Amino acid sequence: MKSLKGRLLVSGGGLYDANFRHTVVLVGEHDARGAVGVILNRALSTTVAESVAPLATLVGPDTPLFEGGPVRPEEAVLLVETDRTDLLDVPVLGSVGFLTGEIPAALRPEILRARVFAGHAGWGAAQLEAELETNAWILDDARLEDVFTDAPELLWANVLRRKGPEYAALARMPFDPRTN
């Protein structure tokens, strides 16, 4: 399978796993060993300043921390946009990628925007491909405005709607279909 790095995984209507129900995942890496990414649309009630104070200067004091996924939720994951793509530890989508480890003071001015995630999403070898075969995920091209959306709670429905009329009904599906 061709690498899905830089693509979006949009949870399909049949994906009932609470970890991924109504999520949009940006794939950061994907190869024969598996895949990793972060959930873009789950802002948490805690701020970055409260949870990962050293990174608060990159995003602002009241910026929410995002749930990146169920893997290692105690670890901060930093996704940034920068004009200096050579500084990215894991380039993902044009000027967007991940930085790892300590962020040197000299690098901070080069960061245009940033999101901080608690943990990440991960799949073992062939696991994501198997989930795609069962239509658990819908693929779409990631856009810069998806990664840094000001309305993460609307991202899942918005991405589905832009895919066309065949996804319009799914975009209106409630988180819990029993409440429909």
pLDDT, tens only, 62-96: 999 999 999 999 999 999 999 999 999 999 999 99
The pTM assigned to this predicted structure is 0.95
Where in the chain are the domains?
7-173
Whether residue 82 contacts residue 65, with contact meaning beta carbons closer than 8 Å, is answered with no
Percent of the chain scoring above 70 in pLDDT: 97
Q: Report domain 7-173's class.
A: alpha beta
Note the pLDDT tens digit of each residue in 98-112.
999 988 888 899 999
Whether residue 47 contacts residue 76, with contact meaning beta carbons closer than 8 Å, is answered with no
Query: Diameter of the chain by CA atoms?
Result: 52
Token couple for 136: 């658990």
Least confident of 28-32, 52-56, 91-95, 171-175: 171-175
Token couple for 71: 């893997």
Whether residue 82 contacts residue 37, with contact meaning beta carbons closer than 8 Å, is answered with no
Q: Is the pLDDT of residue 180 over 80?
A: no
Q: In degrees rounded to 5, what are phi and psi of residue 131?
A: -65, -35
Q: How far is CA 115 from CA 27, 32, 96, 144, in A?
A: 15, 27, 11, 12
Burial class from Cβ neighbours inside 10 Å (0-12, 13-18, 19+) for residue 128 reads buried
Q: Is the pLDDT of residue 177 over 70?
A: no
